[in-house]
Amino acid sequence: MTKLDKATKPDGRKRRWREHKIARREELVDGTIAAVRLRGRDIGMDEIASEIGISKTVLYRYFADKNDLTNATMARYMETTLAPRVYEAIGEDLDHFELTRATITAYVETVASDPDVYLYIMANDSGSGRNAVADSEQMIADVLATVLSERLREMDMDSGGVVPWAYAIVGGVQLATHWWISNRSMSVEAMIDYLTMMIWGGLTGIAEVSGSPARFNSIPHPLLPNESD
C-alpha cells in the first residue's frame, strides 16, 4: 500500500468514534428529555446529568455547552414528536375544514401534552435552538404548501400564494401556541377553536376570490355583512 493510499483510506477508528458519538449524543438527549419531564422545565445541567446517571463532565464531553444540548434537544423533539404528528394530520384524507382543524389540533395538543419539554427548550434558547425550530417550521410549511397547492389546483384556483400562506399559517399557529402554553389562559379546546376560526376565515376568504390578488383588490372589504350599504 502506498503512502497516498494510506492517506486517503478512511480511518476506521475515527469513523467508529464519530458513529459512537452520534449514538451517544442521541441517548443523552433522550435522557435530557426524560429528566425534564421528571424534574420540570427549570432543571439545570447538574440535575440533568444526575438523572441520566453521569457526571456533568461526561455530558460536556458530547456537548460543547448548554446551548448545544438545548439545540440537540429541540431538534430531537421536533423530529420525533412534533413534526411527525403534524405531518400525519396534514396527510389525512379529510375535507378542507376538517383537515384545517386536524392540523391545528395536532400542533396544539402535542405541545400541550409535553409542556415542560417545550418550555425548557424555549427558556434555555439563546439563539442556537432557533435553528432547529426554524428548520422544522420550514419543513412543515413546505409540506402544507404542497397540500394547499394541490387542493387549489383541483378547484381551478390561483395557487401562486401557497408558499407565503403556508408560512403565515405555520408561523401564526406556532407563535400563538407558544403564548398559550406559557400562560394557559384558556382551555386546549378553546385555543383550537380560536385558531381554527382564524385560519379557516383566511382560507375561505382566499377561496371566495379563487386565490387571485387582483380579484381580492377589486372588491369591497366590509367587516360586517351590511357595512357597505
Domain boundaries, the chain: 11-63, 71-217
| Per-residue pLDDT at 7 exceeds 70 | no
Q: Which fold has domain 71-217?
A: Tetracycline Repressor; domain 2 (1.10.357)
Site of grid cell 413546505: 142
Nearest to 196 by CA among 104, 106, 112: 104
pLDDT of residue 75: 87
Q: CATH classification of 11-63 is 1.10.10, yes or no?
A: yes
pLDDT of residue 9: 55
Q: Kindly report the pTM of this predicted structure.
A: 0.82
Residue type, position 197, single letter: M
Diameter of the chain measured on Cα atoms: 90
Cβ contact 34:43 at 8 Å: no
Q: How confident is the model at residue 164 (pLDDT cuts 50, 70, 90)?
A: very high
